[in-house]
Amino acid sequence: MDALSALTSLLSVAAFEADPGGHITNGNSAFVQLLRRVPGDDWRDGVAAEDRALVDAFWNELFVHPNRAREPITFRIDGGDSTFSLQAQAVTSAGGHPLGAVGVIVADDEARPHHAFETDPFTGLPDRAAVMLRIEELAAADRHLAVAVVLLDEADSSDDTRRKEAARQLLSTLRPNDVVSASPDGSFLVCAADVTEVRPALHMAERIAGALSRSGIVARIGISIRDHDAAPATLVREAEAGAYAAEPGDVKFAE
């Protein structure tokens, strides 16, 4: 398996963030690595030549008409057979001016069954089913993982701008192959692969809490860890219980 195939095999769902110029920034470095063949190149240089016009049109429309609903598009990687579905949502100011974008790519190759996920219209993140699928895939492969549930307080969860900012901060703190979903109730579900000990799991949750706090967002975070026994649904329930038991702004590990 070559490096590109190895990378794409890990990305059933990947989230990303873009700046006002349409350049992928600090959201999900695996997305950047996937599409950039030379560090510093425009990310679209990694798209197959015949698909670049489609991606450019999608991207330009996103920033010219940021409030329009748009269907996902499918593109291929230059020099590879893998195809990906791209869904994105503009992040706008109170006056409706584009400040950037958030979105997801979903791998859609023949080796992996296609799963259609709803996308949160305000954050651009996939729904919980996408992360649950990732947790189930890792559990089926008997891999270690950590699950975090992030609950925004009532004021932030009811404010779409604050939810967008929370999503941006989450993306900025996660590792390349971590995945995150958003729910309309203001909660986020995170899956982090290959976390084998409590300490790094807590560090991940503390990074999330710190990033949210610096943006003035109050959240409670619960986290659970899987060795080789817990079922996916149990992990999520334990993380949710931890989040509800935590004090605002704090992290609580599942007991």
**DSSP result, 23-41:** -B-SS-HHHHHHH-SSTTS
CATH class assigned to 1-116: alpha beta
Tens-place pLDDT, residues 121-155: 777 777 888 888 888 888 888 888 999 999 998 88
Alpha carbon dihedral 197, 187, 120, 83, in 10-degree steps, equals: 10
Q: What is the DSSP letter of 65?
A: S
Residue with tokens 């649950």: 132
pLDDT above 50 for 177? yes
pLDDT grade, residue 31 (50/70/90)? low
pLDDT above 70 for 216? yes
- 216-237: average pLDDT: 87
Alpha-carbon distance of 164 to 101, in angstroms, equals 10
Alpha-carbon distance of 2 to 131, in angstroms, equals 26
Residue with tokens 């309309």: 184
Instruction: Please report the pLDDT score of residue 113 as a whole number.
Output: 45
Per DSSP, the three-state class of 172 is helix
Alpha-carbon distance of 178 to 190, in angstroms, equals 7
One-letter amino acid of 139: A
- 68-83: average pLDDT: 77
pLDDT above 60 for 28? no
C-beta pairs of 203-208 under 8 Å, 24+ apart in sequence:
204/146, 204/148, 204/173, 204/174, 204/178, 205/148, 205/251, 206/251, 207/173, 208/148, 208/150, 208/169, 208/170, 208/173, 208/174
What burial class does residue 18 get, using C-beta atoms within 10 Å of its C-beta: 0-12 exposed, 13-18 middle, 19+ buried?
Answer: buried
Alpha-carbon distance of 88 to 86, in angstroms, equals 7
Averaged confidence pLDDT in the chain: 77
Tens-place pLDDT, residues 95-122: 778 888 877 777 665 334 444 566 777 7
Instruction: Please report the pLDDT score of residue 139 as a whole number.
Output: 86
Count of CB atoms situated within 10 Å of the CB of 141: 9
For the chain, which residues make up each domain, given as ranges? Answer: 1-116, 126-255
Alpha-carbon distance of 97 to 99, in angstroms, equals 6
Examine domains 1-116 and 126-255 and report if their fold is the same. Answer: no
> For the domain 126-255, what is the CATH superfamily, name and number?
Reverse transcriptase/Diguanylate cyclase domain (3.30.70.270)
pLDDT above 80 for 44? no
